[in-house]
Structure 1
Amino acid sequence: MADQIVLPSPADFHVHVRQGAMCELVTPHVALGGIRTAYVMPNLVPPLTKTENVLAYKAELERIAPSVEWLMTLYLHPEVTPDEIRKAAKAGVKGVKSYPRGVTTNSSSGIEDYGLYYPVFKAMEEEGMVLNLHGEVPSDDEKNISILNAEKHFLEHLRKIAAAFPNLRIVLEHATTAEAVECVASLPANVACTFTAHHLWLTIDAVAPQPHHFCKPIAKEPRDRAALQNAIKSGNPKFFLGSDSAPHPSASKTPSISDSGELHSCAAGCYTSPFLVPLVATLLEGFGAIDKLAGFVSDHGRAFYKVPAKEGSSVTLRRPAVPNQVPVRLGEGALEVVPFWAGKELAWEIVNN
């Protein structure tokens, strides 16, 4: 078993780095975790619906962490018109992220009818931009739709969009089900899919008692986790890393009661950026896929997004001489964040970060 692995410029094709003080804290963690290229989500408050706002955000990230290549996205919204798409493409914005209304953090401006955005998708197809889909539908008691099956119900939308726009690159984000894996594998090469690190380890049984494991989409059954792991083991280039690393203050991850007696719900998200590449290596080794690590964390995603690795940006992993333990907390006070796998040991560490 190898004691050292050289990876060609790891890339995370789905990351949240927030805004304000939290952004200052967590943005440097992306490079710390071994990532050289990061694809940034636009669900800020307010959401990033204008090219100039996206570019301003990118400049802020480059100020905080200049060693990372930041790839930027727009938030699908009525303000994102075909003309805005062309403007964004010329400015180097790589994609557009679609959030169904109300399904996750800062998604109250999300969409309900994908058909309304077909002119936008056509412009994206023509400009070579990527459509990133949060693959859930809103819960609906009348239709028996909940967070447990919301992803399965979304797949019909994915199939329709892929059929209507055969030259539009589409990514189903943070898939969690066997059905999603099967669907993406069955569609043409313009459709790909990201997996998070935490969904390669979690099942619903691990989420139920632990608010720090709660995320959207929620982790599913063991057979679903196995489907994600097997997709990586297959080496299929459609599947690659998108961490959905999402920092929340510790206080927001624990249900609490306000002074007015209102019960606040637990925020959705797992935070993995500061140790992402060693964590992924540890997980893949655990289910017999360490030989697929370079493809999963670099090659497949870069090929799909057409973002080549820069020379001299490789990352070397080695087995630590002493246990490499995930910190139990990062930041302090109102900015304290409890990371995923807090207190657990990683089988790998970064040598040359």
Structure 2
Amino acid sequence: MASITLPAAADFHVHLRDGSMMETVVPTVRQGGASLAYVMPNLVPAITTVEQALEYHSKLQALDPSVAFLMTLYLSPEITPDVIRAAAATGKIAGVKSYPKGLTTNSEGGVVDYAAFYPVFAAMEECDMVLNIHGESPSSETTTILNAEETFLPTLKALHERFPNLRIVLEHCTTAAAVEAVKACGANVAATITAHHLYLTIDQWADNPHCFCKPVAKLPSDRAALLEAATSGNPKFFLGTDSAPHPRSAKVGTANGKTAAGVFTQPYAVQYVASAFDRMGKLDKLRAFVCDFGRDFYKTVEKGWETAEDITKDAIVLEKEPGQVVVAEIGQGEGAVVPFMAGEKLWGVRWL
């Protein structure tokens, strides 16, 4: 198969930042083949009020009115059942994102005790809002970044059992165990899989800071499980790139000696996935993973965030030849960002 025509893709996990980085990154959503972006709230300060979310939405829409931006709130003590009801009423805020305290970018205000938010989850269930979970446990004598996701999975199961009608997305799965846990839950539990985790194992991020993200890529057997889930045609698994731009200076040679966690994939989102699916001989499963399953789970048409015409009017064409070479960096000066797999060739994409 040399080319594929698809409806516009949807990316259900993006980091678009703020300020000059936002101005650099937002135009790359459509460049990567997507017409819908589900936006993460871990700015500084975090998005914890309806007013902040709507203001952020206005900024994003002004930069690219051709993209549908779905907003989220940052799970924190400021989020109450009343805030949930007000958020749902806006028609622009689709979910609430839970971060474990201190484990990833701008997560210092994250969750320590999920039980404290049971009233919030009940209100989300009532309002049909989605709970997005960064599923990792804090480090301890027995928990490290390599098993933090797997040790969190009992919490996912417990939340689903307590709130069976709450739609939950386990974000950016990285392990075979997470794939099996999501399969074992009911239809209201789904998972996103990133583009970069279809390629990476521990070996790549161990010596390349541009491949380092949270949760970290794991073993070849875990990558194989992610590829199998993504290409399986199971509607529980769909694209959420977790594209997370950081300036080159925050990834390499940082002043505090720490490497920022995040892999930047936004400008080539669908191309990365198409190239991975091609290697698997599963290009026939591409549309479901990047276009259909996420929209169905989030009810984007039912809730009026898109129309069927919106999705199909600007189709994309993926072409194996001549393909596309990933550029060395996007942006300028101190704000330049290095994309994943810079210099390597992928399938190309163009809009009809």
Could you list the per-position Cα deviations for residues 199-252 of structure 1 after superposition, in whole angstroms to 9, with x for gaps in the alignment? 000000111111110000000000000001111232110000000000000010
Task: State the Cα distance separating 1:280 from its structure 2 match.
Answer: 1.0
Distance in 1 of aligned mates of 2:161 and 2:182: 13
Tell me the distance in 1 between the aligned counterparts of 2:261 and 2:253: 11
Q: Offset at 1:6?
A: 1.4
- 1:15 maps to a residue whose letter is V
Residue 283 (structure 1) aligned with residue 276 (structure 2)? yes
Contact 1:176 1:199 in 2 (8 A): yes
Aligned to 1:96: 96
Query: Equivalent residue of 1:37, what SS?
Result: strand
CA drift of 1:276 comes to: 1.0
Q: Distance in 1 between matches of 2:236 and 2:314?
A: 23
> Do 2:193 and 2:230's aligned partners in 1 also have CA atoms closer than 8 Å?
no
Q: Structure 1 residue 270: deviation in Å?
A: 0.4
> Could you tell me which of 258, 281, 289 is aligned with 1:265?
258
Secondary structure of residue in 2 paired with 1:12: strand
1:315 aligns to 2:313 (yes or no): no
Is residue 233–residue 288 contact of structure 1 (8 Å, CA) maintained in 2?
no
Question: 1:164-313 residue pairs with structure 2 within 5 A?
Answer: 164-256=162-254, 258=255, 263-308=256-301, 309=308, 310=310, 311-313=312-314
Is 1:46 the counterpart of 2:45 in the alignment? yes
In the aligned structure 1, how far is the partner of 2:8 from the partner of 2:33?
8
Aligned to 1:133: 133
Which SS does the other structure have where 2:34 is aligned? coil
- Structure 1 equivalent of residue 60 of structure 2: 61
Distance across 2 between alignment mates of 1:270 and 1:194: 15
Equivalent residue number for residue 86 of structure 1: 85
- Cα drift, residue 8 of structure 1: 1.9
Question: Which residue type is aligned with residue 343 of structure 1?
Answer: G
What value does the CA root-mean-square deviation take over the aligned residues? 1.0
- SS of aligned partner of 1:85: helix
Give CA deviations for 1:103-152 in whole Å, capped at 9, x if unaligned. Answer: 100000001000000000000000010000001011112xx111000000
CA distance in 2, matches of 1:224, 1:246: 22
Query: Counterpart of 2:276 in structure 1: which amino acid?
Result: L
Distance in 2 separating the partners of 1:294 and 1:4:
13
**Taking structure 2 as the reference length, what is the TM-score of the superposition?**
0.96
Structure 2 residue runs without a partner (length 5+): 302-307
**What's the CA shift string for 1:257-290, capped at 9, x where partnerless?**
x4xxxx4200000001111111110111112221
Change (3 A) 1:147 1:255: farther
Q: Calculate percent identity across the aligned residue pairs.
A: 54
> C-alpha displacement at 1:9, in angstroms?
2.1
Residue 12 of structure 1 is matched in structure 2 by: 11
Q: Is the 8 A contact 2:231 2:289 kept in 1?
A: no
Residue-pair matches, total? 343
Distance 2:282 2:263 in 1: 23
1:146 to 144, 147, 153: 144
Per-residue displacement from partner, 1:145-184 (whole Å, max 9, x unpaired)? Answer: 1100000011011000000111110000000000000000
Gaps spanning 5+ residues in structure 1: where?
none
CA distance in 2, matches of 1:150, 1:271: 22
Secondary structure in 1 matching 2:4: strand
CA contact (8 A) 1:124 1:130 kept: yes
Instruction: Find the residue that maps to 1:319 and give its secondary structure.
Output: strand
Runs of 4+ in 1 over 6 A off after TM superposition: none
Q: 2: distance between equivalents of 1:120 and 1:179?
A: 28
Q: Distance in 2 between matches of 1:313 and 1:138?
A: 43
Q: Residues 6-57 of structure 1: CA distance to partner in whole angstroms, max 9, x if unpaired?
A: 1122100000000001001111100111101110000000100000100000
- Residue by residue over 1:51-77, the C-alpha shift from the partner in whole angstroms, topping out at 9 and shown as x without a partner, is 010000000000001110000000000
**TM-score normalised to the size of structure 1?**
0.95
Deviation at 1:351, TM superposition (A): 2.5
